[in-house]
Amino acid sequence: MILEEPEVPYVKELYKAIYLMPTTKQTYDYLEKHLGKDPAKIIKTGTSSDNYARSVNPNVFILITEVPYYYDPRMEDLSKSDTIRRKAILNSIEESRKILNFVDKGYREVKGS
């Protein structure tokens, strides 16, 4: 099992890497509390099929799974690291920016021709 973190900080963990599906209401409430502005101006999508199913049957059982895009055994390595979490995240952001700039440059070259 890939031991990923939840995509949002307000989702409830049931077990390692198993979380309840967050609702649009939870998203709205979280943003309202932390942003200081109207979340309706930020939330541009509706709710999900599981939220709809619950409105029809509150006892419905829903299972949503995610499959990683890739796999590497290091993903399961839970040993201590010399890199602090903040630094790892900042490094990831920097790498993402490099990739975005590379793709953007190629896109602009193709678009201009």
pLDDT digits (tens, 9 = 90+) for 6-55: 889 999 999 888 888 888 899 999 999 999 889 999 998 888 888 899 89
- pLDDT mean over 85-104: 96
Cα(75)–Cα(60) distance, integer angstroms: 33
Which pLDDT band, with edges at 50, 70 and 90, does 1 fall under?
A: low
- pLDDT mean over 88-108: 96
Record the tokens describing residue 24, joined without a space: 């649009």
pLDDT digits (tens, 9 = 90+) for 45-76: 888 888 899 899 999 988 888 777 888 888 88
All residues at 6 or more sequence positions from 11 whose CB lies less than 8 Å from its CB, including other chains: 19, 20, 21, 22, 26
Record the tokens describing residue 69, joined without a space: 């895009």
Cα(105)–Cα(113) distance, integer angstroms: 13
Domain ranges of the chain: 1-69, 80-113
Record the tokens describing residue 5, joined without a space: 């973190």
Which pLDDT band, with edges at 50, 70 and 90, does 110 fall under?
A: very high
Q: Where are the beta strands (DSSP E) in 1-113?
A: 13-15, 18-19
Contact 59/37 with Cβ under 8 angstroms?
no
